[in-house]
Amino acid sequence: MSLGKGVMSLDEDSLLIPASYSRIIARELNLQERELEPLLRGTGLPINILLPGDEAYITAQQQMRVLDNAQHILGSPEIGLRLGRQLQPSSHGPLGYLVLSSPDVITALESFADFLPLRLPLASVQVDLDEHYLTCILEIRVSAKPNVLRIMQECFALMIQAVVESVLGRELTEASIELQHARPSHSDCYGDYLHSAVHFSQTVNRVQMPAVLARKANASGHSDSYSLSQDHCCRLLEQIPVSAMSTTDQVRRLLLSHPAGSITEADVAREMFVSKRTLARRLAEEGSSYRTISEKLLSELAVRHLRESNFSIDAVAASLGYCDAAAFRKAFRRWYGQTPSQYRRDKLLMPIS
């Protein structure tokens, strides 16, 4: 049943969404463990669904209630912009790696459009290219309160912007962003989040940019290494139990769920809804530390790259989040007592443990 411009109703109980997006919302609100319950009010969901490592899914209606609750908790209509800013490609799990692996802008957008319904079936995106414009159009697939629809539309614009900018390696300033909702009271804030002109009360939700951007190459120069990193991380994730996880397991899972080097200890603590001090104390009680976990993971990923690819040392360093290969070589020598090149030469034919 059609519910208005760009909105299509489906069986909303059949649309399932990873709980990880609700964790992003809780993190953006800077909630601590004891403050999580109001975010889930009216959903019937337990608090542990927001804790790292829980791979549960929630329904579309539950997700929309979480969005509504988030706006009430923040006490400001700006929640859609703040949340959208957090939805970088890395926040979408395997979809994020696919986008980062894309050779050019249009491939990244098409990959995003193809796989978005698998992660966020609340909406779908259509990507079109003609001789003048590269266009992304949003279709919202559920009914929702006006403020929740506005949040979804703001998130759409910011997700498209993030995908394009991750490939271009710069701000997207030459697009035109059209949104169906009327100019909101917080419209003066849009320029702090969106880098192109925004138009309100439009007939569709659309981001349109010059067609010449479609074939702009991935600025990272190491797109293939992101794809391999995804495979490595997924295999390591499979080795971590999904229930009764220790704090060490939760930290390891969080690090594996993001491209290497994209999150810090403070980010991990926020995702676990605790302070850095509390995180450090809990890890110490398990005989571990954030640095120990991070270093061990990077060393594991490093040897997998060196054994399973012919990427240059520079490309391996970039895929692991190092700013330069010299820093990676120094770390690798500390881990294994030899350089990456020596390791690759000596261990290439040995099976992975």
pLDDT tens digit sequence for 280-297: 999 999 999 999 999 998
- pLDDT at site 4: 38
Arithmetic mean of pLDDT, 216-222: 75
- Among 37-51, 198-212, 214-228, 326-340, top mean pLDDT goes to 198-212
Torsion of CA 25, 52, 112, 124, to 10 degrees: -50
Select the more confidently predicted residue: 242 or 141. 141
| Alpha helix segments (H runs only) across 76-127 | 79-86, 94-101, 105-119
Is residue 248 within 8 Å of residue 280, measured between CB atoms? no
Q: Model confidence over 126-175: pLDDT tens digits? A: 999 999 999 999 999 888 999 999 999 999 999 999 999 989 999 999 99
SS3 of residue 176 by DSSP: strand
pLDDT recorded at residue 9: 47
Domain ranges in the chain? Answer: 12-213, 223-347
The answer to whether residue 86 scores a pLDDT higher than 50 is yes
CA 201 – CA 150 distance, rounded (Å):
11
Tokens of 155: 């998130």
| Three-state DSSP state, 183 | coil
Domain made up of 12-213: CATH architecture: Alpha-Beta Complex (3.90)
What would the pLDDT profile of 29-84 be if each residue is shown by its tens digit? 999 888 999 999 999 999 888 876 656 889 999 999 999 999 999 998 999 999 99
For residues 145 and 143, give the distance between their C-alpha atoms in angstroms, rounded to a whole number. 7
The superfamily (CATH) of domain 223-347 is Homeodomain-like (1.10.10.60)
pLDDT digits (tens, 9 = 90+) for 246-278: 889 889 888 887 777 778 898 888 888 888 999
Q: Hey, which bits of the chain come out as E strands?
A: 16-18, 57-59, 123-129, 133-140, 176-178, 197-199, 205-210
Give residue 225's pLDDT band: very low, low, confident or very high (50, 70, 90). low
**Cα within 13 Å of Cα(286), Cβ side:** 17
Predicted pLDDT of residue 218? 86
For the record, the structure tokens of 211 come out as 């067609």
Q: Which two tokens stand for residue 196?
A: 């192109």
CA distances from 11 to 8, 21, 59, 187, 237 (A): 10, 20, 10, 33, 32
In this predicted structure, what is the pLDDT of residue 212?
Answer: 97
| pLDDT over threshold 50, residue 352 | no
Q: What's the pTM value of the predicted model, to 2 decimals?
A: 0.70
Please calculate the CA angle 214-220-226 and round it to the nearest 5 degrees: 100
